[in-house]
Structure 1
Amino acid sequence: MTDRAVIHIVDDDRAAREGLVFLLSSLGLEARAYAGAAALLAAIEDQTEGCILADVRMPGMSGLELLDELGRRGCPLPVIMITGHGDVPMAVRAMRAGAVDFFEKPVNGMALVERIKEALELSRARAGSEREKAQLGRRIDSLTAREAEVARAVLRGLLNKQIAHELGISQKTVEIHRHNAMEKMGASSAADLVRLLVAAGWEG
């Protein structure tokens, strides 16, 4: 895994992929090329930042099939599709499957570069969100069973007295557990605690 965002180009046309690598490298961007989808899938397994440029029509796994597979694997890298045989239904299918854009050959190089830069920004934002989610998950794991119960009740919108009644404990005990949960989560208020739990994807 690299710390630098990488642009992955998959195209069975050697001249096309080498041309894109040359263009992107000349602009100071890191680009890697692959002749087919299988090689790409093996190379990006641990990649969390970057983007993918994929040709639609390739032997073996097509670009659209690759897009579907990336979706099944939960790949976070934005995908831009490129084709020499584009049509509206194909573009619609690609966008519905998760592509961030669709270019027809011959590609306008600078327009593509601008879209790539936007895709890299999206990738960085996604990676940051995933890191935050993982960090919040570790904080949730640090909660005791009772603190988690109280946090779950807060997430449901219950007041301290309602939580006390539901759990069969005193309101003072609820307040202590709620305070501890907020402290461990780094929350400044009940609303902030709820925000953090939702951001972590926690449903209790």
Structure 2
Amino acid sequence: MELLMKSVGQPCHLFDSGDTFLKAYSPEWSGCLILDIRMPGIGGLELQNELQKRSCGLPVIFITGFGDVPMAVEAIKNGAFDFIEKPFRDQELLDRINAAIEANSQQRIALSETAVVKERLQRLTGREREVMDLVVTGKANKVIAHELGVSQRTVEIHRARVMEKMEAKSLPELVRMHLVN
């Protein structure tokens, strides 16, 4: 596995068992995890379950020479990215690894964007949050003012502050941010 990965310039870290991996694991890691169903110590499916308990975001690709359909179904239901039976073609595995790494990258970007939006939401006052919640539903300032029992000018001021604090350049962008939360 190490030779295959190095042959295409892909960095990799090898662990002699699932237990060794768990001791070294860091939530900051990115990439993907290649597991065999049968491994020394903790088996692949058990390791997958433990990683789920730890909210591990690494996509898991199972490879095995001893798999069967129920085992593959269990792995996929538990969130495995893929399940490959041995023997496999090197290029097939590399293609699936690349797809898993890309998926992990996209997931990390989405989580990062979510964290940014949540941080921006913390900047809003309670009233600004109320105004934002009504603005993103498409309600006009006049309607929002009536619902909140404030003047239309007050709504306009809060709306401007919401746009500024959320760093939204347009209403559709603000709606997208609201959906992330």
Q: TM-score, normalised by structure 1?
A: 0.81
**Could you tell me which residue of structure 2 aligns to residue 3 of structure 1?**
none
**Could you tell me which residue of structure 2 aligns to residue 182 of structure 1?**
163
1:26 is aligned to 2:7: yes
Stretch deviating more after TM superposition (96-105 or 156-165): 156-165
8 Å CA contact retained: 2:18, 2:40:
no
Question: Residues 99-154 of structure 1, C-alpha deviation per residue, up to 9 Å, x if partnerless?
Answer: 11111122321210111111111111111111111111221111122211211223
1:163 is aligned to 2:144: yes
CA distance in 2, matches of 1:151, 1:164: 12
C-alpha distance 166-38 of structure 1, shift in aligned 2 (>3 A): farther
**Could you tell me which residue of structure 1 aligns to residue 132 of structure 2?**
151
Q: State the Cα RMSD in Å.
A: 1.8
CA distance in 2, matches of 1:74, 1:179: 38
Q: Residue 34 of structure 1: CA displacement?
A: 1.1
C-alpha distance 143-83 of structure 1, shift in aligned 2 (>3 A): same
Q: Letter of the aligned partner of 2:175 in structure 1?
A: V
Q: Residue 56 of structure 1: CA displacement?
A: 0.9
**Could you tell me which residue of structure 1 aligns to residue 47 of structure 2?**
66
Q: TM-score, normalised by structure 2?
A: 0.90
1:31-180 equivalence runs, <5 A = 31-180=12-161
Q: Percent identity?
A: 46
8 Å CA contact retained: 1:81, 1:101:
yes
8 Å CA contact retained: 1:79, 1:99:
yes
Tell me the secondary structure at the aligned position of residue 13 of structure 2.
strand
**Could you tell me which residue of structure 2 aligns to residue 196 of structure 1?**
177
- Total equivalences in the alignment: 181
Greater strand proportion = 1
CA distance in 1, matches of 2:44, 2:90: 20
Stretch deviating more after TM superposition (155-164 or 78-87): 155-164
Tell me the secondary structure at the aligned position of residue 127 of structure 1.
helix
CA distance in 2, matches of 1:58, 1:48: 21
The answer for unaligned runs of 5 or more in structure 2 is none
